[in-house]
Amino acid sequence: MNLIDYGPRALTMDVVKAALNNNNFRSTLWTGKHLQLTLMTIRTGDDIGLESHPNTDQFLFVAEGSATALVGDSKDNLVKYPMFCEHVLFVPAGAYHNVINTGNRPLRLISVYAPPNHAPGTVHRTKEAAMEDEHDHY
């Protein structure tokens, strides 16, 4: 399966299969004018990192693994939510959030941003590369 950014053209695919085949921390799979889908793989014991998107809603779907999500209106007021395979997390714009891999294998996520949050075609092989490239949010 070729994991490239297919947007903004119409597309149908098995997105769970794509997520299970993604080994990058983050790969954009589809970027349109108002929506973006990325695939994420979080190493055992690692996390996405606490963040907030002021103008972007986010939807996270667990394709494989288990996690703890932290969400709140400030960095000091976070609520824990357990997440398992096929669970979703809705994150409203402006909410602080983090997802921590609590399982014993990589956590594979499908993440939808509205509007897009990363440059089309973004690929971050590691979390460290993503953190170095934080300016790619647009």
What is the pLDDT, as a whole number, of residue 120? 92
Q: Is residue 7 part of a domain?
A: no
The per-residue pLDDT for range 40-88, each reduced to its tens digit, is: 999 999 999 999 999 999 999 999 999 999 999 999 999 999 999 999 9
**Domain ranges, residue 81:** 22-136
The per-residue pLDDT for range 7-53, each reduced to its tens digit, is: 999 999 999 999 999 999 999 999 999 999 999 999 999 999 999 99
For the domain that residue 108 is a member of, what is the CATH number?
2.60.120.10
Q: Which residues of 42-79 are buried (b: 16+ CB within 10 A; e: fewer)?
A: beeebbbeeeebeebbbebbbbbbbbebbbbeeeeebe
Q: Is residue 50 part of a domain?
A: yes
* Cα 120 from chain centre: 14
pLDDT classification of 106: cutoffs 50, 70, 90: very high
pTM of the predicted protein model: 0.91
Overall domain count for the chain: 1
Q: Is residue 116 part of a domain?
A: yes
114 forms beta bridges with: 57
d(CA 30, CA 16): 14
Q: Is residue 90 part of a domain?
A: yes
Q: Is residue 3 part of a domain?
A: no
Q: Is residue 13 part of a domain?
A: no
Q: Is residue 9 part of a domain?
A: no
> Which residue shows structure tokens 């690692």?
46
